[in-house]
Chains A and B, each alone.
Chain A
Amino acid sequence: MAAAAELTLLEKCLGLSKGNKYSAQGERQIPVLQTNNGPSLTGLTTIAAHLVQQANKEYLLGSTAEEKAVVQQWLEYRVTQVDGHSSKDDIRTVLKDLNSYLEDKVYLTGYNFTLADILLYYGLHRFIIMKLRHRLVRNF
């Protein structure tokens, strides 16, 4: 899924009515959002966090210091590990690690659904969902 399409989907999911236009930058087609009141924002997770605040749903970014850091960690994981690699071995490692992490959890932060769950779900969607058994699928 192209980053722009993913962000549009996120906007709907957040209940944001006015659709933003996104441009893409460079060979990796990094999304760019031109905001009205300030400089543009670049990067998938940066824009996603911005949209969450726009929708007044800050709780999706975590409530405690720990949760906030965990959410950002998995957002980073999404753009570096999930998007970064394409070899089968790498993907297998990502799925295996996530599966073992989620063994005793409902969501990535534990019990609260956050932006990290949304973006990780989008990011993994392009891999064959059939291969994801266990808890990961049940969580969503």
Chain B
Amino acid sequence: MRLFVSEGAPGSLPVLAAAGRAQGRAELLISTVGPEECVVPFLTRPKVPVLQLDSGNYLFSTSAICRYFFLLSGWEQDDLTNQWLEWEATELQPALSAALYYLVVQGKKGEDVFSPVRRALTHIDHSLSRRSCPFLAGETESLADIVLWGALYPLLQDPAYLPEELGALHSWFQTLSSQEPCQRAAETVLKQQGVLALRPYLQKQPQPSFLEGRAVSNEPEEEELATLSEEEIAMAVAAWEKGLESLPPVQPQQNPVLPVAGEKNVLITSALPYVNNVPHLGNIIGCVLSADVFARYSRLRQWNTLYLCGTDEYGTATETKAMEEGLTPQEICDKYHVIHADIYRWFNISFDIFGRTTTPQQTKITQDIFQRLVARGFVLQDTVEQLRCEHCARFLADRFVEGMCPFCGYEEARGDQCDKCGKLINAIELKKPQCKVCRSCPVVKSSRHLFLDLPKLGKPLEEWLEKTLPGSDWTPNARFIIRSWLRDGLKPRCITRDLKWGTPVPLVGFEDKVFYVWFDATIGYLSITANYTDQWEKWWKNPEQVSLYQFMAKDNVPFHGLVFPCSALGAEDNYTLVSHLIATEYLNYEDGKFSKSRGVGVFGDMAQDTGIPADIWRFYLLYIRPEGQDSAFSWTDMLLKNNSELLNNLGNFINRAGMFVSKFFGGFVPEMVLTSDDRRLLAHVTLELQHYHQLLEKVRIRDALRSILTISRHGNQYIQVNEPWKRIKGSEADRQRAGTVTGLAVNIAALLSIMLQPYMPTVSATIQAQLQLPPPACSILLTNFLCTLPAGHQIGTVSPLFQKLENDQIESLRQRFSGGQAKASPKPAAVETMTTAGPQQIQVLMDEVTKQGNIVRELKAQKADKNQVAAEVAKLLDLKKQLALAEGKPLETPKGKKKK
């Protein structure tokens, strides 16, 4: 028989490791073929490794080849092995090929690579430790072990992707890797180059389909009905009967909210959105909305809660945007800050303060932390080579340079990464670099910069992490990201930039530089609080009494979990550091990504024009919150969830409960005489409520929403089984039963209205108004289910809560947001050359030219910095050029400059 392999084909690993089994049973020849060679005559697509049998038949599945070798040695197949191999083919391989593709082809690292395989690795680990067998299918090494080992080896041979907490997987993998046939297979295939040996092969493979959708799952795990003990039932009933009396007095809302010694004090931040981008749905669910749910929940628990956020306004992107729109950076920030604030107001985000980073407090606090770091020797100086555009008179940030990729020759590589080959690039290595703004060729200049000495801060950081992480609610992705940064070793990190728009650096020789946004953006939380109250230090220098929850998408983790803690620890000023770092994965849009430039996806300011209420958006985004894995926004799914979960489940239940009270009992809650079935229901609802609390305390927002829907499903079933609408027409006993069922149902509706408050505040308030729920019950959520609407309570007018979403309505929205409408965005075009300019555009340009002319005159009058004047003059010339083009006039050659 003949085995066909190809350089770097991962399937060779298990096959070669298993081949030893067949030794002496048949002669095995090995041929090496190219990755695109079609060995198997009947298969359209190339496939290796392949085993051609002496009968002429082909085995083209890696597992089947290994199985054949094992069968030849007399091994017998069994259910457990079959199960592992089926799982390997259907679950592990898709996940693994995505991870390897990211790692080997796209050059990604860390969490990006690990997250697709996390679930599969955990599954293996659990299976091994649960069965407490050293091998997958029993006491001895067998087929399943070889196949899985071979599949996993390329990834797991890098210890970064074999977390220590997966102990059982760890020792299984080590055992197999140390065996001779496996070692030899690994050497033959990887040639001691590690995973990069797979590159020549993987580069020729199509992109794994996993990347397009398999990772995305919006479906919940199955629900199970718990069994209840008599004690649990008795306790639930006792709590229910105490009713409103058990509510503590409502704390009056404090202003400002400050922490109180001996109470629970919760400080919540949401990642600061960058000011010049309109946030899309992914940004909204990733931080502000998630943090809002937790803040509202925290207030329902009567914890002292301060929720803050604001726009991150400094930096190069703002300067550029200002240039594009012909405004000053400050004007850009003012304009976009309002856009942000309006969007979050529409989404009903309950900030205590929504501030900004461009304030005197920001300068004061940042400079103070900086001075303390300098005084303690945590700041280094070094010279950095950078690209500088002489025409624009500024140093170019990576994303403002384009050029030819030094690796693959791609013409439009960006300064940080090549879109073609995916490799990371150092901007000064680009061939033929161009300034993205003016297209002239930048020069390499050196510049002095300041660095935060992270290696020196590594020890206090690790001590703090060791103290903080165990028992905290840091999400697994955040832990992983921090761990991989520490493993790769901390390096000094540049904290200054050659810009104007930023916090000035208070150090001699650095007057013309500002702090890099990532040094001072996270300090924004402190300065925003300082603008809210002069007692801000009670929150931010009080680690003993304050629990700090920080919400963000996973790309922000290093700055919050590592860089800022290092600054704060180095400053030695008793700062409050993050106790719970809550990072989400990414939200995709339909089948791809949100893209402002292509107009794909729904952006914050557009959501309100869809006619769909904010609470429905909140509900659906929270329902698909990318918790633990990426998820996707889908219009069809949104329609489905609205119509099934909100309309038919939740809305239907609450409406029916209220309607029965109005229709059958004149609007007064009837007497309730609980039967044993009712008591069981009480206990089930209580259990689900407690589950809801457990989940939200751990910030598992998406899962807790499922608890609400589960209770409402119980409620619907309860009404359906007991048919109060029939019993109300029956005997005295029947009428009493109808009363009990109605009373219990309407109390469940009241409970749901409170549980719903963090998720859908407007709907919650509507239900509470319809039921006339007493005010103390509206603002406190206990861990027990109470009778808040006792017999005799009069409810208000009941009306439906939700509207059906129709197919054609959703279809037209899908069309509207599927791309191509990017031009509808309200930015005045200024930079692009216009060939068919209308009178309006010409007017816009003329206005811009006038405005820019004034700026230049003012600067000159103030004897401003020469570079700054030159930059503004360049802008003015550019605008004049565009105006000339738009009017169809010939171009004037600017004096003293070469015409391109």
Q: Residues of A with Cβ closer than 8 Å to B?
A: 25-28, 30, 41-46, 49-50, 61, 65-66, 68-70, 72-73, 75-77, 79-80, 84-85, 93, 96-97, 100-101, 103, 110
Which B residues lie within 8 Å of A97 (CB)? 42-44
Which B residues lie within 8 Å of A25 (CB)? 222
Q: Could you mark each residue 64-105 of chain B with 1 if its beta carbon is under 8 Å from any beta carbon of chain A, else 0? A: 110110011000010100110111011001000000000000
A42 to B82, CA, bound (A): 10
Contact of A70 among B45, B64, B82 (CB under 8 A): B64
Query: Are A73 and B64 interface neighbours, CB within 8 A?
Result: yes
Decide yes or no whether B60 CB sits under 8 A from chain A.
yes
3 closest A-B pairs by CB = A73-B64, A65-B71, A69-B68
Q: Which residues of B, 207-239, contact A by the 8 Å Cβ criterion?
A: 209, 217, 219, 222
- 25 A-B contacts, Cβ less than 8 Å apart? A30-B90, A42-B83, A43-B82, A43-B86, A43-B90, A44-B86, A46-B83, A46-B86, A49-B82, A50-B79, A50-B82, A65-B72, A66-B55, A66-B68, A68-B67, A69-B65, A70-B59, A72-B67, A72-B85, A73-B59, A73-B61, A77-B61, A80-B89, A85-B209, A97-B43
- With A42-B83, A43-B87, A79-B90 known as contacts, the answer to whether A72 contacts B44 (CB < 8 A) is no
Query: Are A100 and B61 interface neighbours, CB within 8 A?
Result: no
Which A residues lie within 8 Å of B44 (CB)? 93, 96-97
Which B-chain residue is minimally distant from A61 (CB atoms)?
Answer: B77
Which B-chain residue is minimally distant from A102 (CB atoms)?
Answer: B42
Decide yes or no whether B63 CB sits under 8 A from chain A.
yes
Decide yes or no whether B673 CB sits under 8 A from chain A.
no
A96 to B45, CA, bound (A): 11
Query: Are A45 and B64 interface neighbours, CB within 8 A?
Result: no
Query: Are A76 and B55 interface neighbours, CB within 8 A?
Result: no
Q: Which residues of B, 126-145, contact A by the 8 Å Cβ criterion?
A: none
Give B196 Cβ to nearest chain A Cβ, in Å.
27
A74 to B61, CA, bound (A): 9
Query: Are A76 and B86 interface neighbours, CB within 8 A?
Result: yes
Decide yes or no whether B813 CB sits under 8 A from chain A.
no
Decide yes or no whether B438 CB sits under 8 A from chain A.
no
Contact of B86 among A28, A79, A100, A110 (CB under 8 A): A79
Which A residues lie within 8 Å of B43 (CB)? 97
Q: Could you mark each residue 739-764 of chain B with 1 if its beta carbon is under 8 Å from any beta carbon of chain A, else 0? A: 00000000000000000000000000
Which B residues lie within 8 Å of A30 (CB)? 90
Which A residues lie within 8 Å of B65 (CB)? 69
Which A-chain residue is minimally distant from B74 (CB atoms)?
Answer: A65
Decide yes or no whether B57 CB sits under 8 A from chain A.
yes
Give A23 Cβ to nearest chain B Cβ, in Å.
8
Query: Are B61 and A49 interface neighbours, CB within 8 A?
Result: no
Which A residues lie within 8 Å of B837 (CB)? none
Contact of A49 among B72, B79, B93, B222 (CB under 8 A): B79
Which A residues lie within 8 Å of B60 (CB)? 73
Which B-chain residue is minimally distant from A105 (CB atoms)?
Answer: B57
- The listed residue with most A CB atoms (<10 A of its CB), out of B77, B83, B86, is B86
Decide yes or no whether B53 CB sits under 8 A from chain A.
yes
Contact of A80 among B72, B90, B217, B222 (CB under 8 A): B90
Which A residues lie within 8 Å of B67 (CB)? 68-69, 72
- With A66-B53, A93-B45, A101-B42 known as contacts, the answer to whether A76 contacts B85 (CB < 8 A) is yes
Which B-chain residue is minimally distant from A94 (CB atoms)?
Answer: B44
- The listed residue with most B CB atoms (<10 A of its CB), out of A65, A85, A101, A103, is A65
Contact of B57 among A28, A66, A76, A96 (CB under 8 A): A66
Which B-chain residue is minimally distant from A33 (CB atoms)?
Answer: B79
A90 to B180, CA, bound (A): 40
A103 to B68, CA, bound (A): 24
Which A-chain residue is minimally distant from B66 (CB atoms)?
Answer: A69
Which A residues lie within 8 Å of B87 (CB)? 42-43
Which B-chain residue is minimally distant from A80 (CB atoms)?
Answer: B89
Query: Are A68 and B57 interface neighbours, CB within 8 A?
Result: no
Query: Are B63 and A76 interface neighbours, CB within 8 A?
Result: yes
Query: Are A68 and B90 interface neighbours, CB within 8 A?
Result: no
- With A80-B89, A97-B42 known as contacts, the answer to whether A69 contacts B64 (CB < 8 A) is yes
Give B208 Cβ to nearest chain A Cβ, in Å.
11
Which A residues lie within 8 Å of B90 (CB)? 28, 30, 43, 79-80, 84
Give B93 Cβ to nearest chain A Cβ, in Å.
8
Query: Are B219 and A65 interface neighbours, CB within 8 A?
Result: no
Query: Are A45 and B82 interface neighbours, CB within 8 A?
Result: yes
Query: Are A41 and B79 interface neighbours, CB within 8 A?
Result: yes
Query: Are A41 and B42 interface neighbours, CB within 8 A?
Result: no
Which A-chain residue is minimally distant from B25 (CB atoms)?
Answer: A65
Which B residues lie within 8 Å of A28 (CB)? 90
Give B88 Cβ to nearest chain A Cβ, in Å.
9
Which A-chain residue is minimally distant from B72 (CB atoms)?
Answer: A65
Query: Are A76 and B64 interface neighbours, CB within 8 A?
Result: yes
A65 to B65, CA, bound (A): 11
A101 to B61, CA, bound (A): 15
Other contacts beyond A42-B86, A69-B71, A73-B64: 19, CB < 8 A:
A41-B83, A43-B82, A45-B82, A46-B82, A46-B83, A46-B86, A65-B72, A66-B68, A68-B71, A70-B57, A70-B59, A70-B64, A72-B64, A72-B85, A76-B61, A79-B89, A93-B44, A101-B42, A103-B42
Q: Could you mark each residue 794-834 of chain B with 1 if its beta carbon is under 8 Å from any beta carbon of chain A, else 0? A: 00000000000000000000000000000000000000000
A69 to B43, CA, bound (A): 18
Give A67 Cβ to nearest chain B Cβ, in Å.
10
Which A residues lie within 8 Å of B71 (CB)? 65, 68-69
Which A residues lie within 8 Å of B41 (CB)? 100
Which B residues lie within 8 Å of A45 (CB)? 82, 86
Which A residues lie within 8 Å of B82 (CB)? 43, 45-46, 49-50, 72
A134 to B639, CA, bound (A): 43
Which B-chain residue is minimally distant from A45 (CB atoms)?
Answer: B86
Give A103 Cβ to nearest chain B Cβ, in Å.
8
Give A29 Cβ to nearest chain B Cβ, in Å.
10
Give B545 Cβ to nearest chain A Cβ, in Å.
43
- The listed residue with most B CB atoms (<10 A of its CB), out of A26, A68, A69, is A69
- The listed residue with most A CB atoms (<10 A of its CB), out of B55, B71, B87, is B71
Which A-chain residue is minimally distant from B220 (CB atoms)?
Answer: A27
Which B residues lie within 8 Å of A69 (CB)? 59, 64-65, 67-68, 71
Which B residues lie within 8 Å of A43 (CB)? 82-83, 86-87, 90
Q: Could you mark each residue 307-351 of chain B with 1 if its beta carbon is under 8 Å from any beta carbon of chain A, else 0? A: 000000000000000000000000000000000000000000000
Q: Could you mark each residue 572-611 of chain B with 1 if its beta carbon is under 8 Å from any beta carbon of chain A, else 0? A: 0000000000000000000000000000000000000000
